[in-house]
Structure 1
Amino acid sequence: MKLSYLCTSQISTSRLCGAVLLLLLCVYAFATPLLSAQDAASQNLSQILSLPGGNSWFGTDHFGRDMWVRLADALRLSLSMAALCVLTSAVIGVTLGILAATGPSWVDRTLDGVTTLILALPGLVLVLIFAAIVPGSFWMLYVAISLIQWIEYFRVTRAITQRIARSPEVQSSRLMGFGALYLFRRHYWPAIAPQLVTLASFGAASAILMMASLGFVYVGIQPPLAELGLMIVEHFPYYSDAPWLLAQPLIALALVVLSCHLLGGKKAS
């Protein structure tokens, strides 16, 4: 009993830490443009690779650009991508999952075939194909990542809904004449919703890592926009002269992914 209490308390604390860390990163990313008049693309060649402190809290990069502002821009871009992908994937996946579980058998077979077809290609390869169609497009990356991530929501939703649809409670509601909307609100959604937090958290981390991976190989967001993966590869040649410059996007990427993973922990009962 005592061990179980300690485990659930630890899990709950981890989730709280993840939420606080993610909130702090969001505040930094979205509040910086409102509080700073500095342009992330503005160059000052007389202040190249300056140390953190003074006029620039995080120093400047190899073009004399303010890293405090650029890092905020990169985080804001990654967080926006994650939020859009999670929202789109969840809506599509949950809707299609419920249709597959409660609709005609041909709908389930068709959707199952579509997911199998998409899963036949590695996710990152599929995103690379879309990124090559319109290089540097934020919206093309969003479509590509969402196209991959909705499958997880679909599979979890379909499995949960199929189990609940056979329960005596749902059968009784149907015999009493309640419609599909009532069944969704009363029976399906309460069972699906707790799983969405975990799926959304890990999905957000996956979207951010995918976007950074594409930037790292120069097929994602293009300069002069600030993006974490692109910043890492741009700063790598200066790791010996300005190691703090390379460390900043690496730490930012690690923190935002860590916050999502902590947030995706199981909720304490």
Structure 2
Amino acid sequence: MTVHLSLALPPRRWPLRPALGLGLLLLVATFSLLGPWLIGVDPAVQSLAHSLQPPDSNHWLGTDLLGRDVFARLTHAAQLSLGLALLAALSAAVPGVLLGLIAAWRGGAVERTLVLLADAAMSLPGLLLVLLLAAVAPGNLGALYLGLSLSLWVEYFRVSRAAARPVLAGDAVQASRLLGFGPVYLLRRHLLPALTPLLGTLLPFSAAQAVLALAALGFIGVGVQPPTPELGSMMTEFLPFYAEAPWLIAAPVALLMLLVLGMMLFVGEEMPE
């Protein structure tokens, strides 16, 4: 008589903190994408007769000094901050990872040159670099995007180089080379599995840095210029009215906090395999 035993593995659960972070990011993304369609109000339309109006059924977050709808402006500001931050982070990841892999693969003079280039880039603080480019072209989104990307690529370079060196020196890669496998196979089979968890952790961190840098530049008046809605510039506009209209300053601050908190929680624990 044969007895067949089957062991049921417990279902894998998504860690709580990354799930919460992903939920916050999806909430902000949904707000930024569906908000303009839902409210159907032009964020640039002014109505001085409705200046500093408190939240009601017509203006869900009230109006600013010029009578513009705060909810409409906040949705467009969320689109700008989230979209530009993700674009800058992804644009920095591509050259950073490629240069890191080239440095680890080639070694020698090539690696020393690339490391020297990365050290030179790190000698200038990232926010200062973005500030300089933003000052050269005030209000130009292209300059802000370029500055954010140039300030973030070094992190990807250092992480990918440090992670690729032990993999390339390992027995598995050496055996694959002896069997005649080419660079594409080594990259797909050995390097990408080692780099993917690290890059998945680094990407939300760099995007959070980009969001904060963009808001900081807008707050001091050298980032995105009015009337384009942006979280930092909205804080500057609303700050003088914090006593009589506290809901104004609370709106962009809360959205910025949720956006950055979601990105930080998303990488708070190791992702499941």
TM-score of Structure 1 vs Structure 2, range by shorter chain:
over 0.9
Matched, 1:80 2:83: yes
Q: Is the 8 A contact 2:218 2:230 kept in 1?
A: yes
Distance between the aligned counterparts of 2:200 and 2:45, measured in 1? 39
Deviations 1:220-242 (A, max 9, x none): 00000000000001111111110
Deviation at 1:30, TM superposition (A): 1.1
Q: Is the 8 A contact 1:202 1:260 kept in 2?
A: yes
Q: Which has the higher helix share?
A: 1
- Structure 2 match to 1:5: none
Q: Is the 8 A contact 1:15 1:265 kept in 2?
A: yes
Q: Spell out the pairing of 1:29-178 with structure 2 (5 A cutoff).
A: 29-178=32-181
Q: Spell out the pairing of 1:197-236 with structure 2 (5 A cutoff).
A: 197-236=200-239
Which amino acid is 1:92 matched to? P
- Structure 2 match to 1:249: 252
Identity %: 45
Which amino acid is 2:121 matched to? I
- Structure 2 match to 1:187: 190
Deviation at 1:34, TM superposition (A): 2.5
- Structure number with bigger Rg: 2
Q: Is the 8 A contact 2:43 2:73 kept in 1?
A: yes
Please give the secondary structure, in 2, of the residue aligned with 1:121: coil
Which amino acid is 2:129 matched to? L
Number of paired residues? Answer: 261
Distance between the aligned counterparts of 2:142 and 2:37, measured in 1? 24
Deviation at 1:268, TM superposition (A): 4.9
Q: TM-score, normalised by structure 2?
A: 0.93
Matched, 1:27 2:39: no
CA RMSD, Structure 1 to Structure 2 (Å): 1.4
Q: Is the 8 A contact 1:15 1:264 kept in 2?
A: yes
- Structure 1 match to 2:270: 267
Distance between the aligned counterparts of 1:136 and 1:67, measured in 2? 21
Distance between the aligned counterparts of 1:40 and 1:107, measured in 2? 51
Unaligned runs of 5+ in 1: 1-7
Distance between the aligned counterparts of 1:31 and 1:100, measured in 2? 43
Distance between the aligned counterparts of 1:168 and 1:104, measured in 2? 18
Which amino acid is 1:105 matched to? G
Please give the secondary structure, in 1, of the residue aligned with 2:15: helix
